[in-house]
A and B are shown apart, each in its own frame.
Chain A
Amino acid sequence: SYELTQPPSVSVSPGQTASITCSGDNLGNKYPSWYQQRPGQSPVLVIYQENKRPSGIPERFSGSNSGNTATLIISGTQAMDEADYYCQAWDSSTVVFGGGTKLTVL
């Protein structure tokens, strides 16, 4: 079965750029999306189809993709960005989530 691999944790200082990676075979062709989940809350879509932002998501959130690795980039990270982040991709008719990355803003 298809798998997506994320680092368990990433730390960043306020105002700096955070990068969270998601790796999977041929991921670039599987429309990766990213979700933010704060403690006790439902997931929120922040990036879809590699680098598109839904309305209401700050411009500091962006995405990139290089074949087998998708990256969520948060520029000028703020304390409110501290959360779990999950990548998601489509594989045939199923959906796969990465294991999640806890972003800590120190």
Chain B
Amino acid sequence: EVQLVESGGGLVKPGGSLRLSCAASGFTFSSYSMNWVRQAPGKGLEWVSSISSSGDYIFYADSLKGRFTISRDNAKNSLFLQMSSLRAEDTAVYYCARDPGRYGDPYDYWGQGILVTVSS
């Protein structure tokens, strides 16, 4: 059974940093591209970042302006999102999701999400 479990969320002050993790199981992690998608309270889905199966190709939403860094450890079946200079508008549930890696492939499995709250 495919499982994606996010962790590392919580309350952080504006300007602070946080590192999210996503533990994968039930599939060959190193064969899939991985992604982060967020959802602000009461709002829609927003794509954050993607990383290819090998980690060689990385993409970010323009709105992040270099504050977030995606990475992965295929030996540990884990995906990460390092977030810095956090703002109130980064408050959201963050989901990790996988895709097979070909252009146009959908996000076929999602984690349960982890809440990040940025507030003083």
Query: Is the Cβ of A86 less than 8 Å from the Cβ of B106?
Result: no
Contacts of A1 in B (CB 8 A): 62
Q: How many residues of B contact A (CB 8 A)?
A: 23
Determine how close the nearest CB of chain A comes to the CB of B28; give it in whole angstroms.
18
Q: How many residues of A contact B (CB 8 A)?
A: 25
CA–CA, A100 and B108, complex, Å: 18
Query: Is the Cβ of A94 less than 8 Å from the Cβ of B106?
Result: no
Query: Is the Cβ of A100 less than 8 Å from the Cβ of B47?
Result: no
CA–CA, A98 and B43, complex, Å: 11
Interface residues of B in 27-74 (CB under 8 A from A): 35, 37, 44-47, 50, 57, 59, 61-62
* Residue from B46, B59, B103, B107 in contact with A45 in the complex, judged by beta carbons closer than 8 Å: B107
CA–CA, A54 and B46, complex, Å: 22
Contacts of A7 in B (CB 8 A): none
CA–CA, A48 and B62, complex, Å: 25
* Residue from A31, A37, A86 in contact with B104 in the complex, judged by beta carbons closer than 8 Å: A31
* Residue from B95, B104, B105, B108 in contact with A30 in the complex, judged by beta carbons closer than 8 Å: B104
Contacts of A44 in B (CB 8 A): 110
Query: Is the Cβ of A42 less than 8 Å from the Cβ of B47?
Result: no
Interface residues of A in 28-48 (CB under 8 A from B): 30-31, 33, 35, 37, 42-45, 48
Q: Which residue of B lies closest to A42 (CB)?
A: B110
B112 interface residue, CB < 8 Å from A? yes
B14 interface residue, CB < 8 Å from A? no
A64 interface residue, CB < 8 Å from B? no
The 6 closest A-B pairs by CB, nearest first: A31-B104, A48-B106, A33-B106, A100-B44, A95-B47, A97-B45
- 5 A-B interface contacts by CB (under 8 A): A43-B110, A94-B61, A97-B44, A97-B47, A99-B44
Interfacial residues, chain A to chain B (CB-CB below 8 A): 1, 30-31, 33, 35, 37, 42-45, 48-49, 54, 84, 86, 88, 90, 93-100
